Structure 1
Amino acid sequence: MTEQTRPYDFAADALFLDFDGTLVELAPQPEEIVVPPELITLLQRLQQESDGALAIVSGRPLDQLDFFLAPLRLPAAGVHGAERRTADGRIIQQPVPDVHHLRQRLLPLVQSNPGLQLELKRGALALHYRHAAHLEQRCVETMMDALRHEPGFSMLHGKMVVEAKPHINKGDAVAAFLHEAPFRG
């Protein structure tokens, strides 16, 4: 075989894959995404071919990832790394700030605009404006103002969403995975 026709050797690499907008298409509501059955099959194959060095790294909580990817229970980082499941199944939760006061600051905007959705996560809040795209700037400004009064969070502007997340990021989660088997090396 020539270099170009030889199958790729996944055993030499680790794969870290995002979920929303990468593995699955965005949906009108976060809970309405569709996971094609062939995706589960593909992820199983990639996990086997990479000797287990495959992880999902997402803004979603681990329990949501598990629901959508069942029966798979892959190594994963949820809520941008605030929670992580290692390859051997251990759950590691980083300390996160309380979102109660932040939620209280965002509720008036959400309650006065039915097209907005506030998604509560462990240590994070996502303000979705998919059904009210014209409110993007107002959502960003309201979130920025709320975060000025609530320490411990960073703002992340995503696809039709602005999120307050703990000062933890997906890169930190990937770095932690790289110190553990089967990702090490």
Structure 2
Amino acid sequence: MRADTHAFFLDVDGSLIDIAPHPDAVRVPQLLPQVLATLAGRAGGALALVSGRTIQSLDVLFHPFGFAAAGSHGAQMRLAPEDRIRSAPALDEALAREVKAAAGAFDGVFAEDKGTAIAVHYRAAPDARERLEDALRAIVGERVDVRLMPGHCVLEVKPASLDKGTAVADFMARAPFAGRIPVFIGDDVTDEAAFSAVAARGGLALAVGAPRPGAHGVLPDPGSVRAFLTHLAAAPRQRRR
């Protein structure tokens, strides 16, 4: 694999960094932001973070570097580091209130309002999953504009038409990603749409931790992902044919 012929799409929590009990408690290894910046340079800018986090949160995590990014599962897009963030409309206020009230009814559960989506985290209350999911599905009901997306100890109410697959497609239609071989690395059910998007474009999908539908291979853990990316960033440059 060569950085100058591929485009890199990277999930963050559970893929680049280890999952923590709370989204604000994650730790970014000291050298990781520089590794990503080096690889982005080697790839001519064709590297994007594709995350459930907001782009603003990603910028804080990987400071002082900024990257092309898709946040909130594709509801936010920044096609290049210097571009403005493009966001889907916020969830309507009534729906947001209902989701937050449902989360507040369970001990150890909290709602993270991303504006374009609301993530309901239950890592501290895993036994609440089934009842919590039932409550949120009842709120979403027959609506076609939003859907409930499961993840690692999280249930997210988000726009139905946007996901990590639509984000990858958006990037791949534009320079510097267009014409390259896409690579996506992710660990969760929320990444499977992106696996399908890169496969449809002749690319490579790598799952982290365990096999996932649509993935071509598995990296054992985030440490292995970081080692893989460090190797790519440091590989000798090859002359393009």
Task: Give the TM-score normalised by the residue count of structure 2.
Answer: 0.69
Secondary structure of residue in 1 paired with 2:101: helix
1:137, 1:39 → 2: CA distance? Answer: 36
Which residue of 2, 5, 17 corresponds with 1:9? 2
Aligned-residue Cα RMSD (Å) equals 1.6
Show the counterpart of 1:179: 173
Query: What does 1:1-185 correspond to in 2, within 5 Å?
Result: 8-87=1-80, 89-148=82-141, 150-167=143-160, 168-185=162-179
Aligned 8 A contact 1:15 1:55 in 2:
yes
Contact 1:123–1:166 (CA<8 Å) still a contact in 2?
Answer: yes
Hey, what's the Cα distance between the residues in 1 that align with 2:93 and 2:69?
A: 26
- Residue 175 to residue 76, structure 1, CA distance change in 2 (3 Å): same
Supply the distance in 2 between the matched residues of 1:141 and 1:68 (Cα, whole angstroms). Answer: 33
Extract unaligned runs of 5+ from structure 1: 1-7
TM-score w.r.t. length of structure 1: 0.89
How many residues align? The count is 178
Unaligned residue ranges in structure 2 (runs of 5+): 180-241
8 A contact 2:12–2:51 mirrored in 1: yes
Q: One-letter code of the match for 1:59?
A: G
Percent of aligned positions that are identical: 34
- Range 60-69 or range 33-42, more displaced: 33-42
Q: Which has the larger displacement, 13-22 or 106-115?
A: 106-115
Which 4+ residue blocks in structure 1 deviate beyond 6 angstroms?
none
> Amino acid of the residue matched to residue 78 of structure 1?
G
SS at match of 1:47: helix
Is the CA contact (8 Å cut-off) linking 2:4 and 2:43 kept in structure 1?
A: yes
1:79–1:122 Cα contact (<8 Å) kept: no
Alpha-carbon distance in structure 2 between the residues aligned to 1:138 and 1:158:
16
